Homo-oligomer: A and B are copies of this chain.
């Protein structure tokens, strides 16, 4: 199997499709390479297609007038992004930047929409992707509005531990500055909270490696948005 076909068949978006269909999808894809820090697209740009990360990492983010970043998503291999303008028209609602050397597959809007028309299961897969993203957004809004930063951090650490299949140990895959942006805060605040949680024996931070010393308290903190006095 070809390298690109390998990637395509491995992404959930294209699950359950026949080899022929996968080959059709490969046909319309275009390879794009980005170095670390390079912009993939900017908010307001016209979107003529969406992307799938073949390799690397891409962050989707908004920036305030004052320059503060709020990261909406960080996507890794197999994850699609930039679909909104494909289906809703208009422009990209946020910025996309490679935060590592990245290889992306780009799927042009018109060709992909044509494929959808003849592939009901591809449509359903795409509907599932967008729905899961909506679900993620409800969590993010919940976090930003109803939880304090320590609770957001606790929730993220637990999520990461589960994702990495570890019980009480995680390795950050992004810088702490980026993590601050993802949690809706700033590096200074995040740093203080890491220190505070360390001194409270909830976690042990060594560079990017974090041991969850007291997972049950972390879980309670993550649930219970605000501090209990």
Contact between A131 and B131, CB atoms less than 8 A apart: no
Question: From residue 138 to 185 of chain A, which have CB atoms closer than 8 A to chain B?
Answer: 138-142, 144-147, 184
Smallest beta-carbon distance A53→chain B, Å? 18
> Is A33 close to B, CB under 8 A?
no
How far does the alpha carbon of A147 sit from the alpha carbon of B124 in the complex, in Å? 36
| Residues of A contacting B: mostly | helix
Interface string of A79-100 (1 = CB under 8 A from B): 0000111111110011000000
In-complex Cβ contact of A138 among B64, B65, B72 (8 A): B72
CB neighbours (8 Å) of A85 from chain B are 131
Contact between B131 and A84, CB atoms less than 8 A apart: yes
Contact between B65 and A139, CB atoms less than 8 A apart: no
> Is A224 close to B, CB under 8 A?
yes
Question: From residue 27 to 72 of chain A, which have CB atoms closer than 8 A to chain B?
Answer: 62-66, 68, 70, 72
> Is A128 close to B, CB under 8 A?
yes
The answer to whether residues A62 and B131 also contact, given A124-B116, A137-B141, A141-B137 and a CB cut-off of 8 A, is: no
In-complex Cβ contact of A70 among B70, B83, B135, B146 (8 A): B146
In-complex Cβ contact of A226 among B65, B116, B128 (8 A): B65
> Is A117 close to B, CB under 8 A?
yes
Among A85, A86, A141, A147, max chain B CB count under 10 A is at A141
Contact between A141 and B138, CB atoms less than 8 A apart: no
A sample of 20 cross-chain residue pairs with beta-carbon separation below 8 angstroms, ordered by A number, consists of: A62-B138, A63-B146, A64-B142, A64-B146, A65-B224, A66-B226, A68-B145, A72-B138, A84-B131, A87-B128, A93-B138, A94-B138, A113-B124, A120-B123, A127-B130, A134-B134, A134-B137, A137-B141, A144-B144, A144-B184
